[in-house]
Structure 1
Amino acid sequence: MSDRFNAAAHCLSENARLRPDKAALVMAGADGASAILTFAEADRAVRSIAAGLLGLGLEPGARVMVRLGHEADYVLTYFAALAAGLVALPASPQLTPAEAAFLAEDSGAAVIVAGADVTLDPDDVVGRIVLRPADIAAFKAGPPLPAYADTAAEDQAILVYTSGTTSRPKGVRHAHRSVRGRAPMHAHWLGLTDTDVMLHAGTLNWTYTLGVGVTDPWACGATAVLYDGPRDPALWPALIARHGATIFAAVPSLYRQILKYADLAAHDLSGLRHGVTAGEALSPELLAAWEAATGKPLYEALGMSEISTYVSSGPTIPVRPGSPGRPQPGRRVAILPTDGPPEPLPPGEIGLLAVHRSEPGLTLGYWNRPDEDAAVTRGEWFTGGDLARLDADGYLWFHGRNDDLMNALGYRVSPSEVEAVLARHPDVAEVGVAELAVRADLRVIAAFVVPKPGATSEAADLLAFCGQHLAAYKCPREVRFLDALPRTPNGKVQRRRLGQT
């Protein structure tokens, strides 16, 4: 018999039995008010929504696209899809209609669960079931599924879209086992146990938040706290103190903003054991500044949509400034030559960062993209495109990317996708997009534009145009006008030179 495992049951079933009255999810507001769901309440709500979804006549493996706001129902609907043996597709309510339509069409989503303020194009929902918050409320009020779906560990549970090297995002398929595969990070990065309170600063459409902010605490019987008020960086120390957070998770740029705008001394942070960070590189300067200001460690991790976090510092892995850490115990990580046989290189040599395909947290592959699957497969290894080296002590050091993907505040963004939008502007003759260093420890997306003769558009006009066609996190933060784009002798735009312009 195949290995039977359901990711939602793993996170909720035993918790509902062992600690039914413990807070599972706290949605914190800026005014101090909080909405709290216990493990018993979360378990029942998830199974009730699951029953409602199955009552629609959905077949196992049907995709459920979630575009709710930053609210408890996002979490419950996501886990309900897993509980029902369906596939959850977490998406942002901020996507433009065209972006959302692409995801729905490419994934073949059977259901779209959209917030009340999310506008859906009637042409894009033909043949799909659309659910709104009132429908989810009705499901929650109904009878729960008697038991979680009897899924195999290898059955697909999650479909996450991430930017590839083309102008269109690609779907990353994850099995139920991927939740079980997160276990090494609990001890070796997060230091997470059932006594912890995890406060995560991210939004729920991001896998960093759904994973580290909710899935990991629930898998360990800990409490997850999310904040649903105005995004003021000065508020975070008060939230840590008010909710007794023992672990705080964010991207490096937010830690930087907290140091700049918050009054850390005005709040009791004695209960905070450490902060964790991922999504961007943590500079040694920011690490030192945070530890000096708070006296608390800050542990970095490296991950990707295809595997989550697998290299980190943490309670069992001492911090080495400038490195994201070492592969967590149990992970098989290697550096491979960029060309030739996939034989691991010795310490100190730079090559492609690779993860062994036996890794339980690794993706099942890309959705309907056999070419992408082939591109990342090197024998027994999965390669994500990062260039790195491992030192003699096993610490990893970055040396850029082997492709041109950008990292915008933790989100992977394809320059081709942004360029395709700007190329449609009537005043743009040519455009290249690349990361631009605006400070030693901060990089942003920038567009380098060759305007058409007689063009009148200014940078603000082009930024506004991007805002109409791209999610906010994909939009350039700067526009620079050039007479010509730097190109190779073969005519290819040299994006790395653009970033040095």
Structure 2
Amino acid sequence: MNAEDENCRRAPVAQVGATHESVLAAFQTAVAAGPKLPAIHYFDTTMSWQDVDTASDAVAALLAARGFSAGDRLALCVQNNPAFVIGLLATWKARGTVALVSPMSKRSEFALAVEDLDPTALLCLDDVYEEVARHVLGTRSARVPIVLTVSPLDFQARDDLRMFDGCRRRDPADTIDLARVVQARAASVAEASRAGTVSSSAASGAGPVPEPSTRESDSSADRQLGAVRIAPNDVAVIAPTSGTTGAPKGAMLTHRNLLVSAQVYRDWSGLVAGEPVLAMSPLFHVTGLVGAAILAMVTRSPIVLTHRFGPTVIADAIEERRPAFGIAAITAYKALAAEPTVTAGRLAPLRIRFSGGLPIDPDVVDELDERLGGYIHNAYGQTETASPTHLVPYGQRAPADPDTGVLSVGIPVPGTAVAVVDEAGLPVPPGAFGEIMTSGPQVMAGYWRRPDATADALGRGMFATGDIGFVDDDGWLFVVDRSSDVINAAGYKIWPYEVEQVLSAHPAVEEVAVVDIADEYRGQSARAYVALRDGEVATAAELIEYCRARMAAYKYPREVEIVDALPRTATGKILRRRLREN
């Protein structure tokens, strides 16, 4: 190996340990360093670090006043809005844990999440509440004592029709309006500051200040909150993941997990403090959570939010706010490339581009480099590892394996140990296929209320990713397949079990098996093989529509094939491999 090759695989210098005790402490450092500096850009509105601190103080005080206490969970069901960041911080200030719930959930999915997480509080988009959550929370088994709602129209005034066409404020009467809580606290702080009745730290938003309308109860809550100190190994977030044969699981990610991973992105990319970070991925997914929300706090950088991903809206945000860093599934970059009005010049400020959640074809990354004017670096990790265990170093290009044609997902980030093992758990030599195992400071504490699953995943002393791959002689990792049956649609995971459960509830369906199929845009989609009950009739189109009405948009099968029977082994197990070969 020559000197050039050695330089190609060298990792940037990065701090392995977390530089703060908690994500909240990192945020508080940013507030102290520049309270008036921008923290959130949301369309035409900018919130300073002081504004966000005051807003999260308000929500934290309300939670405490209504009985939310240490160890309780707040279910956060919001898109890429300021409310997501406020909800994160407020929960930690109230000594709780954030439980991420997809705002794309259908009623059955939301019900499963609430039943598993047993939250004390919910912060939800108002339309999701009216169309999904209200119907679930009306049942005795899904009570949530504290419910706050927020409109995506809050905290901005542009009302961009490309993102908000048809959107209206719902203002559900049976919930607490987040924007009003925040506005009341901001007004209280401003009034007290003018009157000179608060300390300079309270006026800057550094500590909770009671609202005039609820001064007695909130003042008590403020005293209860006090100076919050969180330990590095306290669970910060429960992030949803799933298994192929069971209900969804929640990965318990600690403050240390989140901080270390965010620091890796910072150090790997050379992102400078104050350079804006673009939230291209959903914040309710670990990639967006760590690679945007937590990264922005660690680097004291403003986060650029656009509610959801829209190619022209994202391009405008890049021109207007000039973010330097962004990470998204490769489908997001494909969508940008497919929009004629999006040019390389418009995207030029976004100098650091990463892609996670979905393998990239070497030809695709070259085409996107030419079309969008910037190389997209691979990132690899799992929800259980708080995002990256491997990255392609910024400024370097990933090699492609000549035999498989697979593009490398990178080299291990600092502090991360990697092993590729055979079925007996023994390490295999470079170039040999095996299961990828990882360990490091970013690996989760375990699965929420799933000790058996935790033991299966972590019992061998490293995290078992379930992915099949190999490491070459220079240390580059290549992922070639999955040992599980997960389907990866544009970075979102589809678990066959979930689709099969929905289809099995159809009165005409006897049995079903779901496998992945190639999808030019999403990478993969779901295909279902269905055997009908004797005497029953159903069409493929009918079954697809049945799923579409009951599942998030990315989950429902794009194809259904009616078969006489499913292929099975001698012991009765379905042969998914044979279905994939059809």
TM-score, reference length from structure 2: 0.79
* SS in structure 2 of the partner of residue 469 of structure 1: coil
In the TM superposition, what are the counterparts of 1:182-331 in structure 2 within 5 Å? 182-187=261-266, 189-228=268-307, 232-265=310-343, 267-307=345-385, 308-315=387-394, 318-321=397-400, 322-331=407-416
* Residue number in structure 1 paired with 2:147: 130
Match of 1:338 among 405, 423, 445: 423
| CA distance in 1 between partners of 2:523 and 2:581 (Å) | 14
Change (3 A) 1:345 1:75: same
**Contact 1:198–1:249 (8 Å) recurs in 2:** no
Counterpart in the other structure of 1:155: 234
Deviation at 1:477, TM superposition (A): 2.1
Given that residues 263 and 295 in structure 2 are in contact (C-alpha distance below 8 angstroms), is that contact kept between their aligned partners in structure 1? Answer: no
CA distance, structure 2, for counterparts of residue 278 and residue 335 of structure 1: 21
- Which structure features the higher share of strand residues? 1
1:429 Cα deviation from its structure 2 partner: 2.3
Deviation at 1:168? Answer: 1.1
**Partners of 2:320 and 2:227 in 1: CA distance:** 35
Aligned to 1:36: 46
State the 1:351 CA deviation: 1.4
| C-alpha distance after superposition, 1:91-126 (max 9, x if no partner) | 122322222122112112111222222132311443
Contact 1:184 1:328 in 2 (8 A): no
Match of 1:31 in 2: none
- 2:42 is matched with which residue? 27
Structural RMSD (CA): 2.4
Match of residue 95 from structure 2? 85
How far residue 323 of structure 1 moved from its aligned partner, in angstroms, is 0.9
CA distance in 2, matches of 1:61, 1:150: 13
The one-character-per-residue Cα deviations of 1:162-219 (angstroms, maximum 9, x if unpaired) are 1112341011111121122214522454432214222222333222222212111221
Distance 1:455 1:243, change over 3 A: farther
Q: Quick one: which of 509, 514, 523 aligns to 1:442?
A: 523
TM-score normalised to structure 1 length: 0.91
C-alpha deviation, 1:318, in angstroms: 4.1
Contact residue 259 and residue 290 of structure 1 kept, 8 A: yes
Letter in 1 for 2:411: R
> SS state of the match for residue 247, structure 2?
coil
Q: How many positions carry a matched residue from both structures?
A: 489
Q: Quick one: distance in 1 between partners of 2:181 and 2:227?
A: 16
Q: Mark the runs of 5 or more structure 1 residues left unpaired by the alignment.
A: 29-33
Q: Distance in 1 between matches of 2:505 and 2:542?
A: 13
Residue 419 of structure 1, CA deviation: 0.4
Q: Does structure 2 conserve the Cα–Cα contact (< 8 Å) formed by 1:337 and 1:352?
A: yes
More helix, by proportion: 2
Contact 1:162 1:172 in 2 (8 A): yes
Counterpart Cα distance in 1 of 2:394 and 2:325: 12
Corresponding residue number in structure 2 for 1:460: 541
Aligned counterpart in structure 2 of residue 368 of structure 1, from 419, 432, 449: 449
Over 3 Å counting, the alpha-carbon distance change for 1:282 and 1:390 in structure 2 is same
State whether structure 2 residue 251 is matched by structure 1 residue 172: yes
CA contact (8 A) 2:337 2:372 kept: no
1:16 to 31, 38, 44: 31
Q: Kindly provide the CA deviation profile for residues 280-317 of structure 1, in whole angstroms up to 9, marking residues without a partner as x.
A: 11111110001112331211101111012111113265
Letter in 2 for 1:428: V
**1:88: Cα distance to partner?**
0.3
Q: Are residues 1:353 and 2:401 paired?
A: no
Matches within 5 A, 1:57-136: 57-117=67-127, 118-119=129-130, 120=134, 121=136, 122-123=138-139, 124-126=141-143, 128-133=145-150, 134-136=176-178
Higher deviation after alignment, 310-319 or 84-93: 310-319
Q: Is the 8 A contact 2:266 2:299 kept in 1?
A: no
Partner Cα separation in structure 2 for residue 281 and residue 4 of structure 1: 31
Report the identity percentage. 28
Change (3 A) 1:269 1:126: closer
